[in-house]
Homo-oligomer: A and B are copies of this chain.
């Protein structure tokens, strides 16, 4: 079905339009405004969750997506941003993160609903703050909301923690890098991409690339390049073997490469070097947040990407804003 006919259908049929904006939300995490991209991404999340034996993560993704988008509708937000899925992208990530880090408990689902609804308020709030600087809020609302939920869980008896922490003072890294083979390298490259959605699964990563590529080959290219640079930098600096192999040093680099790379209309040598510098530095920022959040026992989530993306887009020199990389979310 061509894009024009689908647009007609979704604008006429309310239910289909609602489904469409939700699916686009899942795609916007990778800067893709395309419902089919979102659909494949959700399928890849189900695949990864099933492989890990915890379907709650996939259900959480769907619930988070629908709750955050529905909250946006109730808040009468800007219609154009809503239809592009810009209010679902943070909710779907909250929905994935909560079941990963907290025990499945009825209260966890109430917490997830609360977090998904708040992620929409946070999306509006962050957009209002950053708009004067010409940078996108991106996944910052997801990060702030989820950090609050996870830190709060340490103080709440009814929200037991599953997989994060325990809080510990940082210690200098010991020796021992990742064992290098074609298998470990390929596996890590795929997981660098799947970990954008907090999932450690090579095939989920491959499906994500397919989902991006059906909308934009260029975007998929930047994602793969980001994964390669991220892995390379982690190996050169000597990041921890386990974390590198699991994709934990590369997922932020994937997003930075996409955001900064897509921000340029034309890729001059200077632009390429700028994007490479940003991507390499993302790995250092990732390492820095691994250290800094260790005493609190919470994960950096995508904040290393958000911070580096802001750092490299704020100067605005010769960076023609690319519409897909700079979603502007505004309220009426």
- A interface, by DSSP: helix, strand, loop or mixed? helix
Interface stretch among A30-38, A40-48, A174-182?
Answer: A174-182
* CB of A329, distance to nearest CB on chain B (Å): 10
A161 partner, pick from B152, B172, B288, B316, beta carbons under 8 A? B172
- With an 8 A cutoff between CB atoms, is A297 at the interface? yes
B331 & A315 in contact (Cβ 8 Å cutoff): yes
> What total of chain A residues lie within 8 Å of the partner, measured CB to CB?
78
Given A129-B133, A317-B124; A158-B236 close (CB under 8 Å): yes
Asked if A310 is an interface residue, CB under 8 A from chain B, the answer is yes
Q: Known: A121-B312, A152-B287, A288-B152. Contact between A76 and B158, CB under 8 A?
A: no
Asked if B172 contacts A160 (CB within 8 A), the reply is: yes
Additional pairs, 7, CB under 8 Å, beyond known A111-B237, A157-B238, A165-B172: A114-B281, A151-B170, A153-B287, A154-B172, A155-B288, A155-B290, A170-B296
Show 8 residue pairs from A and B whose CB-CB distance is below 8 angstroms, ordered by the A residue: A117-B277, A122-B311, A124-B317, A128-B316, A132-B132, A152-B288, A169-B169, A317-B332
